[in-house]
Amino acid sequence: MATTTVYDWIIVSVYDRYDKNDDNTFVGKVLYGFVLDDQTCRFAQHDYVTTSRIEKCDLKRGIVETHSGSVYVLQGAGTDATIDFRDFELLRMGYSPTQIAQLNSAASNGIIH
């Protein structure tokens, strides 16, 4: 089975609020990281990747399987983060959860031009 090995990885929990009176609802988890090696020939080394929804995650073995059937091998230590569903496209475009939080903070302070 062809795998993609990622480093500086983050398990990202995505939440959505259906309206302003609703509590945040868990949507799912995705993997965000940088490609170390890709046997599938979809990614170049050091490119970022944001996966489809995680279906299986074995952190002890360092393996993640996604909804689309892709398998990722986790290299080194990783972290976890949380984002709002409205920011998911930023994650897919390559912004890290930390960068997304900084953008949201700047926007709420009126700093965005």
Predicted TM-score (pTM) above 0.85 = yes
pLDDT at residue 17, as a whole number: 79
Q: Which long-range contacts (CB under 8 A, 24 or more apart) does 89-97 make?
A: 91/12, 91/30, 91/32, 91/50, 92/50, 94/48, 94/50, 96/10, 96/32, 97/10, 97/12, 97/32
pLDDT at residue 1, as a whole number: 83
pLDDT at 68 over 70: yes
Residue carrying structure tokens 């700047």: 106
Share of the chain above pLDDT 70, in %: 95
pLDDT at residue 106, as a whole number: 82
Query: Quick one: pLDDT band at residue 21, thresholds 50, 70, 90?
Result: confident
Average pLDDT, the chain: 93
